[in-house]
Homo-oligomer: A and B are copies of this chain.
């Protein structure tokens, strides 16, 4: 495992932050999640089985959970000791909250001069919106993503997934691991504080929409399933459903015509260049859809791909996990959660060829590892007893849970 031996202290909750630390855990880091006595609010969201939210379980697999009251000086002392032993701290409080808790950069640096701190926020650590409350939807709206997502004549549309939470989590994990990698070339990174936001990271994905706007000043429009640079491209009907076809260039367009037995169209003056085809999308559809409708999707997927034309089904979520390729790639895994049962969750998409399949460990119960972690920090048994008695820390036991 690539990040084996790396210790991450995880002060994050909900999705963006926990996804970031899940990625680090999935690459082998030891992630110690610090929770309040109430626990990460995600423990109460989404569908539960045997009292366990599978949404929570999925984002918190492979982590340890310890419960500390960080408002108390004794609790802060535990965190400070943990940070001394850590490589990374990840947090997604609103900017300034960590400082207000007494963990300003100077304090963090003093505890651990090589600590890498990754702060995840809605809009970044500075600037006029820094203190606004953050939410995926707002970042999708502010970043311009929604302005180009949706039907041509419909309203701006959010993504069906909390995409900005995912994207900032990925950027955070990349930023942390590339900073860790600095040490490979013999230069300690020293104390560094990474500042990534939902909004900035979404903006960074605007790709050709931004490039073409910068180059021309023209505002990109929503275009539904039509690609703004290529035609034909989109969803077409077959005799048993819908098919996604994406011939990306002229050469592939010709392969498509051949596969459809429509070679004659290559000489049709109305559609003999990509530019003309972009202006004649409905004509193209009228010419090729009748042929597609003569056979089923499976037939065309086989035939078009063999001809070198990217084509595939549009799968619902249940269909995704029945697909032979997705099953082959083990993109759903079952993880034993003891008395909570076996939890099905998404697989890890980073595969290493020739290496064994990676099977994550279960998500932790709230405070499952509190005593174990404190013992490893060399807290004495009587100190731990005192902290438990004063409710500064809490240890999970099967008896005190619903």
Q: Could you tell me the distance between the alpha carbons of A55 and B214 in the complex, rounded to whole angstroms?
A: 10
Given contacts A141-B244, A215-B48, contact A331 B204 (CB under 8 A): yes
Q: Which of B133, B170, B354 contacts A310 (CB 8 A)?
A: B133
Given contacts A2-B178, A319-B144, contact A160 B209 (CB under 8 A): yes
Given contacts A55-B208, A147-B315, A170-B170, contact A353 B229 (CB under 8 A): no
Number of interface residues of A (CB under 8 A): 155
A253 within 8 A of B: no
User: C-beta contact mask, A236-248 vs B, less than 8 Å → 1, else 0?
Assistant: 0000001010101
Do the beta carbons of A320 and B142 come within 8 Å of each other?
Answer: yes
A196 within 8 A of B: yes
> What's the least CB distance linking A389 to chain B, in Å?
31
A222 and chain B: residue at smallest CB distance: B160
Do the beta carbons of B323 and A142 come within 8 Å of each other?
Answer: yes
> What's the least CB distance linking A59 to chain B, in Å?
8
A362 within 8 A of B: no
Given contacts A27-B178, A185-B5, A329-B127, contact A154 B156 (CB under 8 A): no
Which residues in B have their C-beta under 8 angstroms from that of A6?
181, 184-185
A145 within 8 A of B: yes
Q: Could you tell me the distance between the alpha carbons of A15 and B207 in the complex, rounded to whole angstroms?
A: 9
Which residues in B have their C-beta under 8 angstroms from that of A155?
225, 235, 242
Q: Which of B170, B193, B320 contacts A167 (CB 8 A)?
A: B170
Q: Which of B185, B216, B246, B323 contacts A137 (CB 8 A)?
A: B246
A312 within 8 A of B: yes
A138 within 8 A of B: yes
Which residues in B have their C-beta under 8 angstroms from that of A5?
185, 187
Add 14 more A-B contacts to A199-B329, A214-B345 (CB < 8 A). Answer: A3-B181, A5-B187, A24-B178, A27-B174, A47-B212, A47-B216, A55-B208, A124-B329, A138-B310, A156-B314, A161-B206, A170-B174, A194-B352, A200-B326
